[in-house]
Amino acid sequence: MIQASPTTSDSTPAAPRLSVIVIAHNEALNIQDCVRSAAFADEVLVLDSCSTDDTVALAEAAGATVVTTDWPGFGRQKNRAIDAARGDWLFSLDADERISPELAREIRQVLNRATYSVYTVPRRSLFLTRFMRYAGWWPDRTGRLFRRGSARFTESQVHEHLQASQAAGQLTQPLLHYSHRDLSGVLDKVNRYSSASAHDLVARGKRGSLASAISHGLWAFIRSYVFKCAFLEGGIGFVLAFSTAEVAFYKYLKLAELQGRLPK
């Protein structure tokens, strides 16, 4: 049940409190700019999963409250952050994302006259050399702003998303996503995301094999490069589609490995 907001002494409703929640692990490169972009909020809460770099110190220096915990997967960790935050409204922000001043103003305007309990935001994502327009990367709407009690994240280890029972409103200013800064980062994400996705597939009762890895990888490339028009991005679009195919290929091959079904 959503409780009424507190009122001021003259009975004028107080402005809703906003918490920006961030989950992090070894995000020293990103965390300060991330937290600073959310400085307009009443609270910035970073849920850190035992970072071994300077993530915690840098987050606190930028003004965030940091809570340290273990790592149960992306979805469960974001739900933990929801439970730990104090705001009436929450905005879920990844460590490699930034809230622009224009988006910050729009969020505050919406909170003062909210007609929905959940809002999606368009996301503009960087891939190596520029922000992508095709390959399904724009506008890439994602649910991020929500009233406490109105939504939770799916508990997937990776590719979690916000679930709500009601229709969502739409913000117009983009969230900036510095997702793939260099090739080392791309390959690291291919490895991490394919491993986590393989465990999700096990939980869903899927079976892996070399044939399924090849077919899913090939389809992922065709879907991204042809049907989602990554070819319009030029050479960098090919690299993007190929890395998408790698995630799909290794996801199903790692699934086969977990099930003892790698080819002999």
Q: What is the full per-residue pLDDT of the chain (264 aa) written as tens digits? A: 333 334 444 555 678 999 999 999 999 999 999 999 999 999 999 999 999 999 999 999 999 999 999 999 999 999 999 999 999 999 999 999 999 999 999 999 999 999 999 999 999 999 999 999 999 999 999 999 999 999 999 988 888 999 998 899 999 999 999 989 999 999 999 999 999 999 999 999 999 999 999 999 999 999 999 999 999 999 999 999 999 999 999 999 999 999 999 998
Whether the model pTM is above 0.75? yes
How many CB atoms are located within 10 Å of the residue 99 CB? 25
How far apart are alpha carbons 117 and 109 in whole angstroms? 14
Structure tokens given for 91? 């905005």
Cβ atoms 59, 48 nearer than 8 A: yes
The rounded Cα 186 to chain-centroid distance in angstroms is 16
pLDDT in tens, 190-248: 999 999 999 999 999 999 999 999 999 999 999 999 999 999 999 999 999 999 999 99
Domain at 18-180, CATH homologous superfamily: Spore Coat Polysaccharide Biosynthesis Protein SpsA; Chain A (3.90.550.10)
Within the chain, which residue ranges are assigned CATH 3.90.550.10?
A: 18-180
